[in-house]
Amino acid sequence: MSQISNAIEKRDSGPAAVVEQYRESLALVMPSHLQQRVGAWIRNTQGLLRRDEKLMKAAQNDVGQFIAVLMDAGRLGLEPGTEQYYLVPRWNNKKKHTEVTGVRGYQGEIELMYRAGAVSSVIVEVVYSKDQFQFRPGRDERPVHDIDWDADDRGTLRLVYAYAVMKDGATSKVVVLNRGHIAKARAKSDSADKDWSPWNTDEESMWLKTGAHRLAKWVPTSAEYMREQIRAKAVVDSEQRPEPLPASVPVPAPGTVDGDYDDEPVEGELVD
């Protein structure tokens, strides 16, 4: 009987149960679009643990680290265990055990760009050796990339490029990275030589992620950008607002002055 009780106690205090215990804390850091589905977000995370023994073991080794990673994913508004945000069991040499670390994926980088509200589209593509690719900075606004979709083999990974089309139609800086650039990015990862590293399990995604990450330096990737735009507009509106008339001067009734229309929209009010 004691063995059954111990098993139940261990299960209830395990990583999956702790995630549920942190429901309110996770919801507090999440953007509004995730707060509405925090329950599904938590259930998906618990399902990941049950399906992946290595991930479960790493989470059990350091539950606090695991929750910190989930907090980071929640704060960013990304889905853990997807190409938005990888959950990776990683060896900690100081603690001598594996622990869960979070790796933002290329879809996560793109999601943050869209959510900032400044771009209408984001293009991130890899170029294989048998593809046709052309881009001349200063002459071409955007790359020209031709692919033979009927080809059984497109060759080896050659380039990755990324750019965004802004809301006003302008094109952001175009980022083009070759194999040498990717090698330098990979060298900065201290886990790239591990079997479980996304660099080895999903190389194309890591090329895409590197391109998207480099593009993020040139386009807004935070909702703070939109808040700054709103604040800036409020400042402009306040500066353009006419000074109130002295109390001794009568204020004309609406419609009695040329150009005064009751049905004009009221500026300064943000409507979702």
In a domain? residue 177: yes
Question: DSSP secondary structure string, 52-74?
Answer: -HHHHHHHHHTHHHHHHHHHHHH
In a domain? residue 64: yes
Burial 61-94 (b: 16+ CB within 10 A, else e): bbbebbbebbbbbbebbbbbbebbbbbbbbeeee
In a domain? residue 17: yes
As a whole number of angstroms, the distance between CA 69 and CA 182 comes to 25
In a domain? residue 243: no
Out of 178, 197, 215, pick the residue that ends a domain: 215
pTM for the full model? 0.67
**Digits of tens for pLDDT over the chain (272 positions)?**
444 334 433 445 689 999 999 999 999 999 888 888 999 999 999 999 999 999 999 999 999 999 999 999 999 999 999 889 989 888 888 999 999 999 888 899 999 999 888 899 999 999 999 999 999 999 999 999 999 999 999 999 999 999 999 999 999 999 999 999 999 999 988 778 877 777 888 899 899 999 999 999 899 876 555 555 556 655 555 555 555 544 443 433 333 333 332 333 222 222 23
Query: Are residue 91 and residue 123 in the same domain, yes or no?
Result: no
Query: Are residue 94 and residue 125 in the same domain, yes or no?
Result: no
Query: Are residue 64 and residue 42 in the same domain, yes or no?
Result: yes
Residue 138: count other Cβ atoms within 10 Å of its Cβ: 5
In a domain? residue 229: no
CA angle 91, 92, 94 (to 5 degrees): 145
The answer to whether 237 and 267 have CB atoms below 8 angstroms apart is yes
Out of 104, 137, 172, pick the residue that ends a domain: 104
In a domain? residue 21: yes
Number of domains forming the structure of the chain: 2
Question: DSSP secondary structure string, 3-51?
Answer: HHHHHHHHHHTSHHHHHHHTHHHHHHHS-HHHHTTHHHHHHHHHHHHHH
| DSSP element (H, E) containing 110 | helix 106-116
Identify the pLDDT of residue 3. Answer: 44
The answer to whether 164 and 221 have CB atoms below 8 angstroms apart is no
Query: Are residue 114 and residue 182 in the same domain, yes or no?
Result: yes
Identify the pLDDT of residue 97. Answer: 93
Query: Are residue 113 and residue 90 in the same domain, yes or no?
Result: no
Identify the pLDDT of residue 167. Answer: 93
As a whole number of angstroms, the distance between CA 205 and CA 210 comes to 9
Q: Which domain holds residue 16?
A: 2-104
Q: Which residues pair with 160 in a beta bridge?
A: 126, 177
Query: Are residue 116 and residue 95 in the same domain, yes or no?
Result: no
Out of 215, 235, 266, pick the residue that ends a domain: 215
Query: Are residue 94 and residue 118 in the same domain, yes or no?
Result: no
Identify the pLDDT of residue 104. Answer: 86
In a domain? residue 113: yes
Query: Are residue 81 and residue 158 in the same domain, yes or no?
Result: no
In a domain? residue 253: no
